[in-house]
A = this chain, B = another copy of it.
């Protein structure tokens, strides 16, 4: 393997190890030694490939949000009309939370206090998703096709209701003995979140447009 390829391999291994360690123990709880050990390299490699521990943390989130954005874009492109876009997006959020619980684990650990890391995270990655959600939700709300919730509350009900079961899956397993990551359960959860937040038929007025219904 050429030197540049080796470098990129090491860098990618460090990012993946950082995702696992930061998600499990938080920024302060994860040590650069444990991250390096998980990646199979020595600790000073982190400061060779990244400016600092905080820089590696940022690279981990860049990677996780790139994955999520790719899936959400796919969900939007394959949909026809606002309502179907929202439904596909909700399903994508649920499925992705189960596939990559690390994303929500990292998020929730940083979102409880204003900090440099939180402002970076919010402006760099969350803002654009929230803006897209807001425009979509407001258009559907005036047509009575979604639950009667303001955009901010709707955003957090959607994310919280869709992701906590997976970000807290170790707790859920202790409580119930069941596996939250079971594919059948995940699909039922996705269906339920769609049913809770959207209405197949508008409640307030306007039926002139033909509205796609799922059943």
| A→B interface (CB under 8 Å) | 23-29, 101, 105, 107-109, 111-114, 118-119, 122-123, 126-127, 130, 147-153, 155-157, 159-165, 167-168, 170-172, 174-176, 178, 180, 185, 188-189, 192-193, 195-197
Contacts and interface: CB of A to CB of B under 8 A. Distances in A.
Contact of A196 (B108, B130, B147, B159): B147
B101 A147 contact: no
Contacts of A113: 24-25, 170
Contacts of A178: 152
26 contacts: A23-B112, A24-B113, A25-B28, A107-B168, A108-B168, A112-B167, A112-B170, A114-B170, A122-B174, A123-B174, A126-B171, A127-B175, A130-B175, A147-B192, A147-B196, A150-B185, A152-B175, A153-B189, A153-B192, A156-B164, A156-B165, A156-B180, A157-B161, A157-B196, A160-B162, A196-B197
Contacts of A172: 152, 156
A175 B119 CA distance: 10
Contacts of A130: 175-176
